[in-house]
Amino acid sequence: MKALVFSQFGGPEVLTYTDIPEPVISSSEILVEMKAIGLNFADVYRRKGNYHLAGEPPYILGYEGAGVVVKTGEAVSQFKQGDRVAFADVPYANAEKVSVPASHAIPLPDDISFETAASLLLQGLTAQYLTHDSYKLKSGDTVLIHAAAGGVGQLLTGISKHMGAKAIGLTSSGQKRQTAIEAGAEHVFLYNENWKEEVLSVTEGKGVDVVYESVGSTLADSFAAARIGGTVVFFGMAGGDPAPVDPRMLMDTSKTLTGGDLWNFLTSSEERISRSAGLFQWIRNGAIQIAPPAVFKLKDGAEAHAYIESRKSTGKILLIP
């Protein structure tokens, strides 16, 4: 079978499209013929050598995708050949066929396309736990969303609006500002503006109830934009490491800092299926919408990696075998 692989760390040019042996599944696994694969920044970080990779080269990237079951292990009873499935946390997805633990596979309803599933799951499940577990968002809240034009940012904005909260977005350009507005943000400010003052201005000097902080280097500013007793949810550091937080500041302002990691919530088959079902229902009833993805053939994966690193993309990037 064909796969997108690399044998040394580096830029997109290290990726090659080549033949590798087909996976051999265990008794508890299923073999999935991939129809759509989600590309994420984590794949870029792994390609560069910034994230741990198991095994030996040639390495295969990818953790998210959707396809059709073509074979099942003898201990698997919940899936059969021909079933449509998706996953958000299975390695080696950048290939024509992937060995998937049955416990990690998510049944895909007929009305959810492979492309939608591969565009939605990883970022959608992230936005879901951020608004339901890290901080229980409620109607009337005011929310500040970093990188509001990104995949998670747009979903956070849509979920906030659906739940009756007021979303304020932060983006890096006028074009991305428009994307965030179209996603449902009531106000959008640029990072090169005095956005802390702008946020305080539109909240009548009070600040927001919760900040979804994914940049890292802006953590101190996020606290300044949060109200007394507000919460900052830290779930990423795309812009660099945050400065240390002074516990005295937390005490004096009654503010809360909490963290979040999706893998602490996807702990069982039941969790994966129930949380995904909630996402699918949001798609059906229009609570959240997904912008059309940028689509590349799997063999053109190097071009897709160059595109995601250009920071020009605002929606999901898919690889199609």
Cα 29–Cα 30–Cα 33 angle in degrees, nearest 5? 145
The domain total for the chain is 2
pTM of structure: 0.93
| Pair 224, 145 in one domain | yes
Question: Is 7 part of any domain?
Answer: yes
| Pair 62, 24 in one domain | yes
The β-bridge relationship of strands 84-87 and 64-72 is antiparallel
pLDDT of residue 310: 87
Structural domain range at position 75: 2-120+266-320
Question: Is 129 part of any domain?
Answer: no
| Pair 181, 278 in one domain | no
DSSP state string for 269-280: HHHHHHHHHHHH
Identify the CA nearest to 205 among candidates 177, 226, 191: 226
pLDDT of residue 50: 83
| Pair 204, 219 in one domain | yes
pLDDT of residue 91: 94
Question: Is 280 part of any domain?
Answer: yes
| Pair 271, 223 in one domain | no
Q: With left for phi above 0 and alpha for psi between -120 and 50, is residue 161 left, alpha or beta?
A: alpha
| Pair 33, 101 in one domain | yes
Mean pLDDT by 10 residues, the chain (321 residues): 96 97 97 97 91 84 97 97 97 97 98 97 96 97 96 95 97 93 96 96 98 96 98 92 95 96 94 97 90 95 94 86 97
Question: Is 239 part of any domain?
Answer: yes
Among the candidates 226, 259, 292, a domain finishes at: 259
Q: Which two tokens stand for residue 108?
A: 């895909």
pLDDT of residue 313: 74
Question: Is 176 part of any domain?
Answer: yes
| Pair 106, 40 in one domain | yes
